[in-house]
Structure 1
């Protein structure tokens, strides 16, 4: 592979394309402190018939702009200065509001409070996880009443917390939120971004000496908070010893009592799951003198939301496995006879089983695509869904998957009813076969909704690459199903082609190999520091890759481990915007033509571009479809999108990819991360590399972080019992 890119200018070490902000902060101000989207600039509207009309119109527009600028400056001052909370607040109250805003905007991930070892002092920002509070939905008719918000505002001010949290607290606690918060101040922990130490300060201000670390209310609130943090990290439950230890680290004096109180109040559920390890069972003597086998169990504690989703998913999968319809046997035989090789093997497995797993890389998607076409040609009601619109586009381009006949969609589109077949009188999808690609990206709730929507007798195929990053939301559905071995598993033998395919395949088995790339398919760009990494990245995207590879800048994406840091998405997006689409960020930090990543729902990132802004909000074009984001949602739901994290990029591919690995990124890397990032490239991969030996070490030694789930145990029990 080549180790030097072609460039037209000499890059100096540590010389980013954009100057640092005052104080040395390289974070772009528009993205961190965006104002609401304003009106379009004067001069874009067409003039009137007379000079007087033009002058009047211009004066009106200038006046409107002055008002808008004043409002923007007020918002910026509110965010950057002391926080108004009855009186001007600063210190801990300002810190609390800043923390909440950081989590809501995605700038700061939730703290993994239950994690095992303490992080190193300079831990880089981890890959963002799914955050339900990232892009809150606009207030519907069921929003909290204004008087409720005002009452909560008074309680927050009394306790020294920022009044800006009042709408969120009122929405979370409902009617009577002020009384509930005054009675139990630790309910503030239900707001994303609030930490236990901040809630403790709020409680002391309200309750005085009547509260302490051993307060039962505090124990329950911290227990629920820890379970929420666990869900953000992908767990559907926590083992009891892990939860007890985490409570101890949060200075809960009696963790056992805190857990029992939480369970008694119904704020969490406890489970005893039998362990199925070979040789683990031991006989014991009963009172009647008979020997009975004692099965070891593990005790888990989880939130009801995820526990019920996991149990519903297991029930639904067992139903599909055990309700195989014979009415379509002839059609399935016909479908299996029209395909060959791996697709034929997959078709035969689906003909005889209600649930089938299919594994393979990008090239292996040809097999489920062929199955989809054969099933539809045989008269079966078949549909396929992908994780992203780009995945849908790539699948639809393969033979057999005809988008014109509505045979391909996305998971979100199918669940919302915007795509796919209709539903019958019972609410079930009118399908004989559902193929789900990008299986590892299914979280437990989405998977449960899909399976619940399938009628008895339908077939389900889950297909995907088990080496990529897991879902942003709780669960590891695809990995649990593979491990449970309750259904046929078809492994594709189609390799991904070319030097990039060879490199990614090696990463998948823990080897970072030297690969011959005669056509500059892979280029390694060594850098000494983060500043040089930013400079080289901009140079590659804007000049080297378009000139040497023939891929324009708008078809190249940058992938980096996190949002923060000197070479995170915010710094890279600021530099790339200045080079590729400079502008003042007049629409809430954005300008027409900016590339963006839009999050319509937690855990999703749809690439697109800014079209304009008006009174309705920010107008985007995403996957060819127009999208309008209301003003109040822009700050939390829209980011610049020249640079993404691997979690944001998973499920999509680009002609060219630049992966940025600065020297301080080693702790954020793992084999799945590298595999996912490198695998997003179709024609060209540039690696801006400052890790030296840390990269091959991460590929060889650092696997996916384990997630605690119950699906394997539930599946084995359900399938066996049924």
Structure 2
């Protein structure tokens, strides 16, 4: 059982000290006390004393480790069918499924997994988990059956399908579906089709650009429908900028007002740079991070919501593939009745880091408007490479201005060495992009070319120090791993010291946010593909080490994080091309399609 790091600057208290004492009796590492108190609350010691399987509330703990501690506390008598063990196993399995992206698991599938964990009475364990309150069951009826039996008589009602999920995720997904149905039903047209098309034409004339007919049609849909999903590819960034600029004018003409957001600070900064290049920077809409739009205060806590909605009748969110069900639910809750919500997303990207597959489910439901934006002709080598990957091919592209560079490596150690050369010397010298604007995106955390090893190497080279704040120091590039006041999980910036001994993170748009908790900090010189989802940088070094077990969406997401330059450090041999060719999707189990169809 590995020990968990204690967040820098934390102070022991009554609940933590009591929990440490219980852990010592159980033979478990005492540093687990603080995270247990964070999960179970101030009564963690008492709960753990009465039920050693509460250890499974921590994701890093395995059932075997919890069983060992239970035997030490309770003797050799505890049965594998102990109700305390059963409910903990159910919650543990659903928590693991959530970390893999699933929001709910079908009853029979869950029961098989519970029995595989040594619980013979799976049904009793599932009932105990429901009684504990952290797990919920949701029933729905199949919608593909014949409602009429033989002779035209009404058929008997089929057995309901039952899905289990963590309560917070199940409720968020239910709220999201019902909220989307609400917006779809209350979103009256803000313009007729002709007026919307005329407004788009006026925007095009103001900016001196030609807007494709498909983009015009999509914007007409935005004006007419309460909820719209606009899909695009890697070559559609110009079309996305056109949508945002025109949406701002539609919002102004209709006197609704517009709000534009992206999942992370770096994605918002990239979109604003594209709007500036278009000639609309600041003149129309200005994108903000979603955390700022919703006035994030901490994990799951937002200043904007049903009681205080966003003050705009047209809300546009780009890079929406990064939205998980909980953030999407918070966004929808913050949209008042009648608000037009527009989600702009590239469906070839990997699903969100958090549970759910929101955009994919919206498109699959056929309950909401979906329109496709066109690729631009001659979008460039970056878009060309992405299109190849989206089609299942890891091929080469011509890049006369070094937009794409492939650096082969024979080992993980060589891949790490090449990566440091690229970020510290080659890219700044040959491409003209400074090191602080180059982001390393690694396919794995572990291994010699994984994010952890690359972070250690970058810190030693660029900002040596003791790692006083959860492994980082002022001056380090950092990844924010949880939501906090004004920032979101996935934001990448630089850690700064402020007066009074506090800490702040300088984000890519130049704003600075104070830290709610140093435990939210992670090294950010190198981040995984999952952490990079929803972010875009001027230059990216995508590192595929020997341990890479990729997929087409993972590789596509990695190569589409760069705006101007991409270096691919490739040490995974033919396995990477095989993954792109043979693993086209990352399916997840969710309930959103059914909720939307049921209305």
Aligned to 1:299: 162
- Residue 535 to residue 346, structure 1, CA distance change in 2 (3 Å): same
1:651 aligns with 2:515: no
Tell me how far apart the structure 2 counterparts of residues 363 and 406 of structure 1 sit (CA, whole Å): 15
Q: Which residue, out of 48, 56, 60, partners 1:189? A: 56
Aligned to 1:249: 116
CA deviation map 1:78-133 (0-9, x unaligned) = xxxxxxxxxxxxxxxxx35x1x44xx88xxxxxxxxxxxxxxxxxxxxxxxxxxxx
1:412 aligns with 2:329: no
Tell me how far apart the structure 2 counterparts of residues 219 and 586 of structure 1 sit (CA, whole Å): 40
1:374–1:400 CA contact under 8 A, matched in 2: no
- Residue 373 to residue 194, structure 1, CA distance change in 2 (3 Å): same
Aligned to 1:381: 257
Superposed counterparts of 1:174-185, under 5 Å: 174=41, 176-185=43-52
Considering only aligned residues, what root-mean-square deviation do their CA atoms show, in Å?
3.2
Tell me how far apart the structure 1 counterparts of residues 598 and 83 of structure 2 sit (CA, whole Å): 36
1:343–1:371 CA contact under 8 A, matched in 2: no
2:174–2:592 CA contact under 8 A, matched in 1: yes
Deviation of 1:151 (Å) = 3.6
* SS of structure 1 residue aligned to 2:496: strand
Query: Which consecutive residues of structure 2, in runs of 5 or more, have no partner in the other structure?
Result: 204-210, 298-302
Tell me how far apart the structure 2 counterparts of residues 580 and 674 of structure 1 sit (CA, whole Å): 27
1:345 aligns with 2:221: no
* SS of structure 1 residue aligned to 2:349: coil
Superposed counterparts of 1:206-285, under 5 Å: 206-277=73-144, 281=146
Larger mean Cα displacement after TM superposition, 687-696 or 454-463: 687-696
* SS of structure 2 residue aligned to 1:292: coil
Deviation of 1:331 (Å) = 7.7
Deviation of 1:320 (Å) = 1.2
CA deviation map 1:115-166 (0-9, x unaligned) = xxxxxxxxxxxxxxxxxxxx9x989xxxxx9444444333322222233333
Deviation of 1:313 (Å) = 1.1
1:313 aligns with 2:176: yes
Tell me how far apart the structure 2 counterparts of residues 424 and 707 of structure 1 sit (CA, whole Å): 28
Aligned to 1:356: 228
Tell me how far apart the structure 2 counterparts of residues 499 and 155 of structure 1 sit (CA, whole Å): 59
Aligned to 1:365: 240
Q: Which residue, out of 525, 535, 549, partners 1:642? A: 525
Deviation of 1:177 (Å) = 4.0
Deviation of 1:304 (Å) = 1.8
CA deviation map 1:681-715 (0-9, x unaligned) = 22222221122221221111113321110000110
Q: Which residue, out of 678, 702, 714, partners 2:583? A: 702
Tell me how far apart the structure 2 counterparts of residues 334 and 628 of structure 1 sit (CA, whole Å): 44
Query: Which consecutive residues of structure 1, in runs of 5 or more, have no partner in the other structure?
Result: 1-94, 106-134, 140-144
Aligned to 1:513: 395
Tell me how far apart the structure 1 counterparts of residues 186 and 97 of structure 2 sit (CA, whole Å): 35
Q: Which residue, out of 483, 491, 494, partners 1:606? A: 491
Tell me how far apart the structure 1 counterparts of residues 564 and 354 of structure 2 sit (CA, whole Å): 30
1:370–1:400 CA contact under 8 A, matched in 2: no
Aligned to 1:486: 367
Tell me how far apart the structure 2 counterparts of residues 586 and 461 of structure 1 sit (CA, whole Å): 42
Aligned to 2:457: 575
Deviation of 1:417 (Å) = 6.5
Tell me how far apart the structure 2 counterparts of residues 173 and 578 of structure 1 sit (CA, whole Å): 37
Q: Which has the larger radius of gyration?
A: 1
Deviation of 1:218 (Å) = 0.4
- Residue 404 to residue 584, structure 1, CA distance change in 2 (3 Å): farther
Tell me how far apart the structure 2 counterparts of residues 374 and 257 of structure 1 sit (CA, whole Å): 58
2:294–2:304 CA contact under 8 A, matched in 1: no
Deviation of 1:353 (Å) = 1.1
Deviation of 1:221 (Å) = 0.9
TM-score scaled by length of structure 2: 0.87
Larger mean Cα displacement after TM superposition, 293-302 or 247-256: 293-302
Aligned to 2:554: 673
Aligned to 2:208: none
TM-score scaled by length of structure 1: 0.73
1:556 aligns with 2:438: yes
Tell me how far apart the structure 1 counterparts of residues 463 and 45 of structure 2 sit (CA, whole Å): 47
Tell me how far apart the structure 2 counterparts of residues 509 and 296 of structure 1 sit (CA, whole Å): 40
- Residue 333 to residue 319, structure 1, CA distance change in 2 (3 Å): farther
Tell me how far apart the structure 2 counterparts of residues 302 and 441 of structure 1 sit (CA, whole Å): 21
Deviation of 1:586 (Å) = 6.4
Tell me how far apart the structure 1 counterparts of residues 365 and 420 of structure 2 sit (CA, whole Å): 46
1:268–1:304 CA contact under 8 A, matched in 2: yes
* SS of structure 2 residue aligned to 1:547: helix
Tell me how far apart the structure 2 counterparts of residues 272 and 592 of structure 1 sit (CA, whole Å): 50
- Residue 377 to residue 597, structure 1, CA distance change in 2 (3 Å): same
Aligned to 1:544: 426
Aligned to 1:452: 333
* SS of structure 1 residue aligned to 2:155: strand
Tell me how far apart the structure 2 counterparts of residues 505 and 205 of structure 1 sit (CA, whole Å): 56
Tell me how far apart the structure 2 counterparts of residues 531 and 423 of structure 1 sit (CA, whole Å): 47
- Residue 173 to residue 390, structure 1, CA distance change in 2 (3 Å): closer
Larger mean Cα displacement after TM superposition, 303-312 or 426-435: 426-435
Deviation of 1:627 (Å) = 3.7
Superposed counterparts of 1:69-88, under 5 Å: none
1:153 aligns with 2:20: yes
Deviation of 1:437 (Å) = 0.9
1:371–1:400 CA contact under 8 A, matched in 2: no
Deviation of 1:310 (Å) = 1.1
* SS of structure 1 residue aligned to 2:400: coil
Tell me how far apart the structure 2 counterparts of residues 447 and 483 of structure 1 sit (CA, whole Å): 17
Superposed counterparts of 1:122-137, under 5 Å: none
CA deviation map 1:537-557 (0-9, x unaligned) = 112222222232222222222
Higher relative contact order, structure no. (Cα contacts within 8 Å, ≥ 6 residues apart): 1
